[in-house]
Amino acid sequence: MKKRIAILGSTGSIGTQALEVISAQKDFFELELITANSNSTLLIEQARKYHPATVVVADKSKYNEVKEALSSLPVKVFAGAESIEQTVQSDEIDVVLTAMVGYAGLMPTIKAIEAKKHIALANKETLVVAGSLITKLAQENKVALLPVDSEHSAIFQCLAGEHFNPIEKIYLTASGGPFRGKSKEYLTTVTREQALKHPNWTMGAKITIDSATMMNKGLEMIEARWLFNLSVAQIDVVVHPQSVIHSIVQFEDGSMKAQMGLPDMKLPIQYALAYPQRLKADFPRFDFLKYPDLTFEKPDKEVFRALELAEQAMKKDGNVPCVMNAANEIAVEAFLNGQLEFHRITELTEQCMEKINHIVNPGLNDLIETDNETRQFARSLLSKKSNFA
């Protein structure tokens, strides 16, 4: 039987590649639902090309445009964030690929888990914001959380067949981004164009900026904690500029497993959607002779403060990771809009983490309130031109 797939965030980098994977594996996958925030043009194009049963655009002002453009096709069209939460619960869906950007992916993921849909997780912020809640909910509903991030997919693959063998440590590899080896002083002059030029990966603007600050790796540390039930001390980051080794697991006997491959997100996407099968694919093959040197470096946490902030968030726990994520989302948006300097992204985030009240055991409503409060406070900091201009 074909797996019936929903893609939340089909117009983003992960979503567009997932559509290519599904199209190439028509014997195994069937597309049921695609959603987008506001990119109606691409959403319409995707619906015409891939023929999903249902389309949702979160921006309600785009509903009439999408509805009219798809009127000749047998496709249901809805609008609004609440429609995304409702459609993921459909009996016609087996796996939900959550590729929405940021906090927006939290509620649809919760609704999908409650409807007992397996989750192919590309939205790391869901576990950063509500890791305890999400993992507990997944266990209660007997739902699999299948990682799509290349690093977490690598760890997941390395753990195959190792169920009874405890992890001593994991190493999440990082390319180092476009500013690897640069100084604090250099980061004060970084432009939007420079920050959006990632050396190895083609990604959306938000995750590319997060990679440049190394906040993305900080978010991945928190995600790994919940996916693999690890302590802070069991998670480390190593800079690996070639992005060939996607991550490493070290076991209690000292042996290590690494998952390798070219930097291509289609492989972890397909692995998550097809799990536990490995489907034959024509992805480019790795050639060792083209990579005679694989190098590793210690990340500079003084220059890239985001890693230190993520460690602090994990240690304090509670609603602190939620604060960090919300503040970072506002800061990155401000940088992309020319309202904030690059090096002040982590400064703004840290100020929010210091000022927002710590809740030790937050429920869902606490996390929703924390997210709202943090965003308001972050915007108030941005309005103070003397500090953030």
Give the pLDDT score at 389: 46
**Tens digit of each residue's pLDDT, the chain (389 residues):** 899 999 999 999 999 999 999 999 999 999 999 999 999 999 999 999 999 999 999 999 999 999 999 999 999 999 999 999 999 999 999 999 999 988 889 999 999 999 999 999 999 999 999 999 999 999 999 999 999 999 999 999 999 999 999 999 999 999 998 999 999 999 999 999 999 988 777 778 898 999 999 999 999 999 999 999 999 999 999 999 999 999 999 999 999 999 999 989 999 999 999 999 999 999 999 999 999 999 999 999 999 999 999 999 999 999 999 999 999 999 999 999 999 999 999 999 999 999 999 999 999 999 999 999 999 999 999 997 555 54
In angstroms, rounded to a whole number, what is the distance separating the alpha carbons of residues 33 and 56?
8
| Residue 215, both tokens | 């906040």
Cα–Cα distances in angstroms (integers) from residue 47 to residues 159, 167, 312, 352, 356, in the given order: 37, 43, 43, 40, 42
DSSP state of 39: -
Does an H or E element contain 258, and which? strand 256-260
CB neighbourhood size of 95 (10 A): 22
Buried b (16+ CB within 10 A) or exposed e, 97-125: bbbbbbbbbbbbbbbbbebebbbbbbbbb
Residue 383 is encoded by which pair of tokens? 């309005």
Token pair recorded at residue 40: 């109606």
Task: Write down all domains in the chain, each with its CATH number in brackets.
Answer: 3-147 (3.40.50.720)
pLDDT of residue 240: 96
Q: Is the dihedral of CA 317, 226, 104, 383 positive or negative?
A: positive
